[in-house]
Chains A and B, each alone.
Chain A
Amino acid sequence: MSAAREMLCDTARAVFAEAAPAGMGPIEEAGFALLLVPEDAGGFGGDWGDVNAVLQIAGVVVPDLPVAELIVNDALQPAATVSLMAGAMGQALALSIEHVNTRQQFGRPLGKFQAVQQSLAVMACEVRAVEAAAAALAARLDAVGLDVAAAEFEIAATKLRANRAVGVVTAIAHQVHGAIGFTREYELSRVTIPLMRWRGAHGNDAYWAQLLGRQVAEFGGKGLWEALTAR
């Protein structure tokens, strides 16, 4: 990660933490609305890689605030949602690992049981896939200057992939947590409930699968590979 992006992330972490109890005020004051505005127009001059990094943090710290709406236009909301989802899934995984390493049953940490290890490996694969898809989408959006039409394949593929991961990730995270994860006090539901909501927002599975399937059908069997490798 570049030094500039790292600084941006540090700022986002601090400002979002302040906003978590206070609402959008601190985020607006810190100027996050200018993230994508070019420098010569008085903005931060960021790219989608920056948006992806910032929204992953927002997905963990302020999942219920309209940060994505503040930063990007309507057409890019599906892409923005993917970044929120990637962040929240990373957090669900981190909480799960921490929990199974500390919670003891049968005289051992839960994480020492193979069944638990295998479940978390499955979950980690889903999280990694969504993070990779979000990063690849960012690369595409930046390559085409945020032209949504030119990145339609990647937006569809990424939102669909992220949607499909939600079921696996939320189910395993809650399963390994046991009853504590089902409480309002414990922080897991602060990311799992938003994940459930985001799955249906800005295009559910059926919507993106249809759109992508029709596009690929037009490419044809051989054309799919040619299209993938030409992008």
Chain B
Amino acid sequence: MQGFALYPFDPPGDVAARRDELRAWLAVNQPQGDIVARANCWASFDADFSRALGAAGYVGMTLPARYGGGDRHPLERYVVIEELLAAGAPVGAHWIADRQTGPLILRYGSEEQRERYLPGIAKGELYACIGLSEPGAGSDLAAVRTTARETAAGWRINGQKIWTTGAHFSHIMLALVRSEEGSERGAGLSQLLIDLDTPGITIRPIIDMAGHHDFNEVFFDDVLVPHGALVGTRGQGWQQVTAELGLERSGPERYLSSHALLAALIDAAGADPDPAVASLIGELAAEMWTLRRLSMSTAAKLAAGEDPMVEASVVKELGNAFEQDMPRRVQAIVTSGWDDPDDLARLLRALLIASPSFSLRGGTREVIRGIIARGLGLR
């Protein structure tokens, strides 16, 4: 990792003008609901907003126009995403489809799959979920046991996924399954694109500690999907999933999920804050600025076709630490009570409760550090 240089973040076109357009669009179209929904807003579901965003050309931006996409550069999308997150817009409904399922279908999917799913994704109307984790396969993802057997009629699926965010509102699941009988670990896995209204699928809610219904258990009981549900190459599921995880680790959501709290702290502090508050704001701003530069550099590398697996993991690790630290440190110096009705107190409580998940979802802290250690040549 010696000799680090920032990769230039250079999207085509007039970035400042695009930002202004989007800010003006949000001023009109962003729902004015509860401020708490602006924190961790990529978990906030709002189908109307997703549809409006899609109609305005802000979903599926990097997909080709022939599939309804915007033919935009990945860094143009990055700018849009960071604006949406900083504004706390409710992007949860289409988030996963836009961020990873769409690009993955474009990369590995068949022509039929692209034509069938990508236009709906780009409209902000077709939602996807990620079927990786199982009761026996968490950090140890290669222990996946859900099976898919190829029969004359198609793939027959049996097993269970768990912690599946958004399965209850999604149309499709991209699932990692064991397609080869008797196979072990990373070999013999495949990715299937499963329509969630297929008979034999049962989705049960799991209520999280905040009282929200975001994730689910999904059971497959002799579920039959067509041969055409296979994504990419049979038996290459592990390699494809690893690439998919790279897409999800370094984005601006890793340091902007709690931005609403930082903004509320700054507003509550006023123009002449007391020294302890000023210090905290200064430290948080320094970290955020640094993370943004790292994340932008990593995005630019990804866009240039490189594979910055280690850097993406550094962004996630530092971003998670920043976002878990922030509510704790804010709580340590503000006088708000747990049940106070003001914005700062409510955002604080919501993020204290939400933040343990930040270093679990998308790869745990320990797994991420392991990836970094491998990059250092230690494993």
Q: Which residues of A contact B (CB under 8 A)?
A: 1, 90, 93-94, 97, 100-101, 111-112, 114, 116-118, 120-122, 124-125, 127-129, 131-133, 135-136, 139, 153-154, 156-158, 160-161, 164, 205-206, 208-214, 216-222, 224-225, 228-230
Q: Is B297 an interface residue (CB 8 A)?
A: yes
Q: Which residues of A contact B369 (CB under 8 A)?
A: 117-118, 121-122
Contact with A along B338-379 (1 / 0, CB 8 A): 000000000000000000000000000010111011011111
Q: In the bound complex, do residue B311 and residue A128 qualify as a contact, i.e. CB atoms below 8 Å apart?
A: yes
B378-A213 in contact (CB<8A): no
Q: Which among B65-73, B125-133, B241-249, B283-291 touches the partner chain?
A: B283-291
Given known contacts A120-B373, A157-B289, A213-B285, A220 and B266 CB-to-CB distance under 8 angstroms: yes
B15 to chain A, nearest CB (A): 9
**Could you say which residues of chain A place their CB within 8 Å of the CB of B287?**
161
- Complex contacts, B36 vs chain A, CB 8 Å: none
* A121-B317 in contact given A157-B285, A217-B281 (Cβ < 8 Å): yes
Shortest distance between the CB of B137 and any CB in chain A (Å): 20
Question: Whole-angstrom distance between the alpha carbons of A75 and B179 in the complex?
Answer: 64
Q: Are A136 and B293 closer than 8 Å at their CB atoms?
A: yes
Instruction: Confirm or deny: B141 has a beta carbon within 8 angstroms of a beta carbon on chain A.
Output: no
Closest Cβ of chain B to A85, distance in Å, is 13
B5, B280, B377 — most chain A CB neighbours (10 Å): B5
Do A214 and B376 touch (CB < 8 A)? no
Would you call the interface of chain A mostly helix, strand, loop, or mixed? helix
- Given A101-B378, A125-B317, the answer on whether A217 and B294 have CB atoms closer than 8 Å is no
Cβ–Cβ < 8 Å partners of B267 in chain A: 220-221
* Cβ-defined contact, A111 with B378, below 8 A: yes
Counting CB contacts under 8 A, is B6 at the interface? yes
With A209-B279, A209-B283, A224-B262 given, is the CB distance from A131 to B4 under 8 Å?
Answer: yes
Flag the segment in B54-62, B153-161, B270-278 that touches A.
Answer: B270-278
A-B contacts, 26 of them at CB < 8 A, read A117-B370, A118-B369, A118-B370, A121-B370, A121-B373, A129-B290, A131-B4, A135-B4, A136-B293, A156-B282, A157-B289, A160-B283, A206-B279, A208-B282, A209-B286, A210-B275, A210-B278, A213-B281, A214-B278, A217-B270, A220-B267, A221-B265, A224-B285, A225-B263, A228-B289, A229-B19
Complex contact B285–A128 (CB within 8 A)? no
Q: Report the count of interface residues on B (CB-CB < 8 A).
A: 57
- Whether B294 lies near A132 (C-beta < 8 A) is yes
A230 to B86, CA, bound (A): 14
CB-contact partner of A217 in B16, B86, B278, B288, under 8 A:
B278
Q: Is the CB of A135 within 8 A of B6?
A: yes
List residues of chain A with CB within 8 A of the CB of B16: 230
Once the chains are docked, how many angstroms separate the CA of A116 from the CA of B369?
A: 11
Contact B5 A1 (CB under 8 A): yes
Q: Which of B277-327 contact A (CB under 8 A)?
A: 277-283, 285-294, 297, 311, 314, 317-318
Query: A221 and B286: CB pair below 8 A?
Result: no
Measured CA separation A125–B267 after assembly (Å) = 31
Rank and list the top 4 A-B pairs by shortest CB-CB distance, nearest first: A221-B263, A213-B278, A213-B282, A212-B282
Residues of chain A lying within 8 A (CB to CB) of residue B1:
93, 124, 127-128
Closest beta carbon of chain B to A93's beta carbon, Å: 7
- A133 and chain B: residue at smallest CB distance: B290
B residues near A129, Cβ cutoff 8 Å: 290-291, 294, 314, 318
Q: How far is the CA of A114 from the CA of B372 in the complex (A)?
A: 12
Residue of A nearest to B296 (CB): A136
Question: In the complex the two chains form, what is the Cα distance from A229 to B270 in whole Å?
Answer: 22
Chain B residues, Cβ within 8 Å of A216: 266, 281-282, 285
Docked complex Cα distance between A118 and B287 (Å): 21
CA gap between A161 and B322 in the complex, in Å = 12
